[in-house]
Amino acid sequence: MDLLLLEKALLALFFAATVAAAISRLCRKRFKLPIGPIPVPVFGNWLQVGDNLNHRVLAKLAKKYGDIFMLRMGQRNLVIVSSPELAKEVLKTQGVEFGSRTRSVVFDIFSGEGQDMTFAVYGDHWRKMRRIMTVPFFTSKVVQQYSRCWEEEAASMVEDFKKNPQASTSGIGVRIRLQLLMHNNMYRIMFDKTFEGESDPLFVNLHDLNIKRAVLAHSLAYNYGDFIPIFRPFLRGYLNICKEINEKRLQVFDFFIQERKNVIASSTNKRRDHQGLRFPGIDHILEAQEKGEINEENVRYIVENVNIGGIDTVTRSLEWAIAELANHPKVQKKLQVELDTVLERGLQITEPDTHKLPYLQAVIKETLRLRMALPLLVPHMNINDAKLDGYDIPAESRISVNAWWLANNPAHWKDPEQFRPDRFLEEESHVQVNGNDFRYIPFGLGRRSCPGIVMALPMFCITLGRLVQNYDILVPPGQSEIDTTERAGQFSLHILKPYKVVFKPRSI
């Protein structure tokens, strides 16, 4: 059976090669394409460059081919943009033309074939979903309403570390505890719900499914199915696992949605106060469903987008920041001095304080510069043929802005490989996180930029601030530093090995 399949695939491959070569000859006549390595039929540049096209590999290729270059990966065109000027062109000036998302076999599954917002093509559906999600999740009112919760979650983590004797001696891992904190932060906004601890069975199940989804979606293992569609039958096993995990996650989301529906149904105080935003985010989403603006699937995938967009990015960034502070005690000391000076001794940082702490903000900016959570943003796509920098960009090309390279290119930054937050108080003091300078766009910019920035920054400031106020964060005994080797996936950047750090209580 498998041999028959292989035989058919090879025949189809030969046929596709001939057709592709003919088409590419025709195309070359018509299009002035960005330069790049010379592609071979069928595989294009895939065998030359491999499929681990992470931010560092692409930065190397940019040095060779320039600020815009094209890779032909099987049947897919990948255009990589590596200068602030071209990033501006893609994200802002031609934001509509390049404002869609590429399709992918795996993301089609995890987005319910475009039922969500993050992976939706640019158009009416995306506009509607983004509008509906904005009031309950992405405004400063949400920050006002929930910052007290985020402060409580940070305080609870600080207390947990105090109770654990290993935290102040041999050191403890932080990843799962940060995941718990972020699940609580986001589930309080969505459902007014918290998990009781790392061993709460609901948290264990949800966390496990969210991690599995992230691993499957960010893996490089399925690329060939996107690059050369006739290879897709070989991906059947992988795609079945994706479907299974997706279904299980949706069932968990359904549980929370139904629980909230029951509360609403039994409540005498019917529904929400829009201006005051006193009710959890899901109420607003369910109201949009009742009005017929969105359907049940959209509701489920909104919950999915908040899980993926909100939890993993902030958790991973906090994980990087803690590791960098352990490795840079002088930076940590300076941060403690700022917190001790600006806040009255003993007072714990709250959201309004975060605006008065420039060094804390600089530490966060530097973490997001050097260890950008989404170094290539989320891939963009042009639905129609387009022009960029004088080149023709064929319709449905995948456009990756190498935001990490923009923020780490030595041509634009002093000693970019160093973790040096002071740069944001000195030579880069004008640079803000909201994208006022196209060399620094960790949240993207323009139509598809991150709407979660409004909550991500205060959560980041409060959590990191509380840890540093209460503890000296140290490398464990017998170790010279935390290993900060990177692991880059499809478009995410994680720390490779979960690490341990010591939290030595400070006398406040």
In whole angstroms, the minimum distance from the beta carbon of 159 to ligand HEM comes to: 24
In whole angstroms, the minimum distance from the beta carbon of 283 to ligand HEM comes to: 17
Q: How far is CA 457 from CA 1, 190, 297, 354, 481, in A?
A: 54, 18, 30, 9, 27
Please say which residue, 172 or 459, places its beta carbon nearer to ligand HEM: 459
Q: Which amino acid is at 332?
A: Q
Please state, in angstroms and rounded to a whole number, the distance separating the CA atoms of residues 72 and 43: 8
Nearest-CA neighbor of 119 among 308, 245, 250? Answer: 308
In whole angstroms, the minimum distance from the beta carbon of 401 to ligand HEM comes to: 7
Is residue 284 close enough to count as binding ligand HEM by CB under 6 A? no
Nearest-CA neighbor of 54 among 380, 499, 494? Answer: 494
Binder of ligand HEM out of 235, 242, 377, 462 (CB under 6 A) = 377
In whole angstroms, the minimum distance from the beta carbon of 459 to ligand HEM comes to: 7
State the pairing for strand pair 471-474/486-488: unpaired
Please say which residue, 90 or 326, places its beta carbon nearer to ligand HEM: 90
Please state, in angstroms and rounded to a whole number, the distance separating the CA atoms of residues 414 and 21: 45
Ramachandran region, residue 164 (left: φ > 0; alpha: ψ -120 to 50; beta: rest) = beta
Is residue 373 close enough to count as binding ligand HEM by CB under 6 A? yes
Binder of ligand HEM out of 94, 111, 118, 327 (CB under 6 A) = 118
Helix ranges (H only) for 96-235 are 105-110, 124-137, 140-163, 175-191, 201-218, 223-227
Task: Report how many residues bind ligand HEM under the rule CB under 6 A.
Answer: 27
Q: How far is CA 21 from the centre of its chain?
A: 37
Please say which residue, 129 or 474, places its beta carbon nearer to ligand HEM: 129
Site for ligand HEM in 125-154 (CB under 6 A): 130, 137
Please say which residue, 42 or 90, places its beta carbon nearer to ligand HEM: 90
Binder of ligand HEM out of 147, 317, 409, 490 (CB under 6 A) = 317
- Length of the chain equals 508
- In the sheet that holds 398-401, the strands lie side by side as 68-73, 76-81, 398-401, 380-381
Site string for ligand HEM, 58-97 (x = CB under 6 A): ---------------------------------x------
Cβ-closest residue to ligand HEM?
452
In whole angstroms, the minimum distance from the beta carbon of 39 to ligand HEM comes to: 26
User: How many helices and strands (H and E) does the chain possess?
Assistant: 18, 11
Q: Please answer whether residues 104 and 226 qualify as being in contact, where contact means their C-beta atoms are separated by less than 8 angstroms.
A: yes
In whole angstroms, the minimum distance from the beta carbon of 9 to ligand HEM comes to: 34
Please say which residue, 74 or 458, places its beta carbon nearer to ligand HEM: 458
Side-chain half-sphere of 255: how many Cα atoms within 13 Å?
12
Please indicate if the annotation marks 27 as binding a ligand: no
Q: Which stretch binds ligand HEM (CB under 6 A): 30-38, 200-208, 290-298, 369-377?
A: 369-377
Which run of H or E residues covers position 194? none
Is residue 310 close enough to count as binding ligand HEM by CB under 6 A? yes
In whole angstroms, the minimum distance from the beta carbon of 389 to ligand HEM comes to: 18
Which run of H or E residues covers position 86? helix 84-88
Is residue 180 close enough to count as binding ligand HEM by CB under 6 A? no
Which run of H or E residues covers position 294? none
Please say which residue, 117 or 475, places its beta carbon nearer to ligand HEM: 117
State the pairing for strand pair 380-381/500-505: unpaired
Binder of ligand HEM out of 309, 421, 435, 465 (CB under 6 A) = 309
Site for ligand HEM in 432-491 (CB under 6 A): 442-444, 448-452, 455-456
In whole angstroms, the minimum distance from the beta carbon of 384 to ligand HEM comes to: 19
- Burial letters 14-28, b for 16+ CB under 10 A, else e: eebeeebeeeeeeee
In whole angstroms, the minimum distance from the beta carbon of 349 to ligand HEM comes to: 18
Please say which residue, 49 or 372, places its beta carbon nearer to ligand HEM: 372
Please state, in angstroms and rounded to a whole number, the distance separating the CA atoms of residues 180 and 31: 51
Residue positions forming the annotated binding site: 450
Question: Could you list the residues that contact ligand HEM (CB under 6 A)?
Answer: 91, 117-118, 130, 137, 305-306, 309-310, 313-314, 317, 368, 373-374, 377-378, 442-444, 448-452, 455-456
Annotated binding site for heme: 450
